[in-house]
Copies of this chain bind each other. A is one copy, B any other.
């Protein structure tokens, strides 16, 4: 195990991507104690689809692992029966035990693209281990420690109540169970998205009421999608998945909007600050400069996951495709007046006379691609970059123009 960095070194490192540290002094004390910390990484085992945004937390945990601290990967098998009501405006159907197991395995596969798996650095637990023995009686004792006021203090609950939607009883106590996990597993620290702050503060409350030291809660910044949208999501097609191939990661990152180059470099790469300053400057220049800056960011991000060699190879492959595309300057252009469009909308612009079913057939047959990436979902939103080449069938290629 390498020598531990000082607490201030850790805080400096964390500052780049964290938003808030609840219990900062306690964090410093614990780091300085020399004791390996237990880092709670709780997951709600719905079908996982982790992207760069999730990885921000994982990289901070990886940093602590590299210095001897232990991540406790907590499979919320019992709480997944409820489903975290965070960010959902409606009550969700309950998952089966089999689905939960399958999802937990998939989750671990994705998480370990970043986290170390050494025995002493990664512990795997399930919250049924303590919630089952707790029983109804024990749960009542825990519930006695929280009030209705605290339970409904959540913004999203208030919004749901206001909107006339109701909260199911099991959702209402979800944060209590998540909070009790922190106590039961001796969590020193948890690193979560801002949307999990409420639930993890409940952990602090319960730890305190149960006589334990409250965990430190660190929240990380939320970064927009490739298209600038506030959320990265599968349905928007605007994110880079952790299990995407190096080629796909590179290709998707090259669709990043120019104004996000600096942010992505800061949050998703480990490039040093002076390089980032330089990238930001080049991004502002636009055109070829911005494109080259984006190449650098894409290479740095891919390198983080797949190593420098693979990243360099993807950069070369992308450039050769791009160069090939630049040759026939005589390609017809397709003028698009939008920042983004769904695939089917884009096709309608290109082929105004074709019927919807003809366009769908073209997509289904795999005949549509954008800069070499096949477009298979007619409703996926795609970012319109000037200069990109759309291919429709064997012969029809157009250069997009804004």
User: Which A residues lie at the B interface, using CB under 8 A?
Assistant: 78, 81-82, 91, 94, 128, 131-132, 134-152, 157, 161, 166-170, 172-173, 176-177
Say whether A131 contacts B136, CB under 8 Å.
Answer: yes
> For A173, what are the chain B residues with a Cβ–Cβ distance below 8 Å?
140, 143, 169, 173
CB < 8 Å neighbour of A136 from B134, B152, B168? B134
Determine the residue in chain B with the shortest Cβ distance to A97: B137
Are the CB atoms of B145 and A137 closer together than 8 Å? no
Whether A169 pairs with B152 at a CB distance below 8 angstroms is no
Q: How far is the CA of A152 from the CA of B145 in the complex (A)?
A: 18
Q: Which residue of B lies closest to A140 (CB)?
A: B170
Q: A173-B143, A173-B173 are in contact. Are A137 and B81 (CB under 8 A)?
A: yes
Contacts of A141 in B (CB 8 A): 81, 94, 170
Decide if B170 touches A147 in the complex (CB within 8 Å). no
The answer on a CB contact under 8 Å between B147 and A168 is yes
**Is B144 a contact of A170 with CB atoms below 8 Å?**
yes
Contact sample, A vs B, 20 pairs, CB 8 Å cutoff = A78-B140, A94-B144, A131-B136, A131-B137, A134-B136, A135-B135, A136-B138, A139-B139, A140-B170, A140-B173, A143-B173, A144-B168, A144-B170, A145-B168, A146-B168, A146-B169, A147-B167, A148-B167, A149-B161, A173-B173
Chain B residues near A146: list those with CB within 8 A: 168-169
SS of A interface (majority): helix
This chain: how many copies in the complex? 2
Nearest-CB residue, chain B, relative to A77 = B137
Of residues A146, A151, A169, which shows the largest number of chain B Cβ atoms within 10 Å of its Cβ?
A169
Nearest-CB distance from A160 to chain B (Å)? 9
Q: Are A137 and B78 in contact (CB under 8 A)?
A: yes
A142 contact set on B, CB distance < 8 A? 169
| A143-B131 contact given A78-B136, A161-B148, CB 8 Å threshold | no
CA–CA, A166 and B151, complex, Å? 11
| Chain B hits for A131, CB < 8 A | 136-137
> Looking at A135, A142, A157, which has the most chain B CB atoms within 10 Å of its CB?
A135
List B contacts of A128 (CB < 8 A): 137
Contact A132–B140 (Cβ < 8 Å): no
Tell me whether A151 and B139 are in contact (CB under 8 A).
Answer: no
Instruction: Give 17 A-B pairs besides A139-B139, A148-B169 with Cβ atoms closer than 8 angstroms.
Output: A82-B140, A128-B137, A132-B136, A135-B136, A136-B136, A136-B139, A140-B173, A143-B168, A143-B169, A144-B168, A144-B169, A145-B169, A147-B167, A148-B161, A148-B167, A149-B161, A151-B172
| Contacting pair B143 A166 (CB below 8 A) | no
The one of B132, B143, B161, B172 in contact with A170, judged by C-beta atoms closer than 8 angstroms, is B143
Q: How far is the CB of A90 from chain B (nearest CB, A)?
A: 12
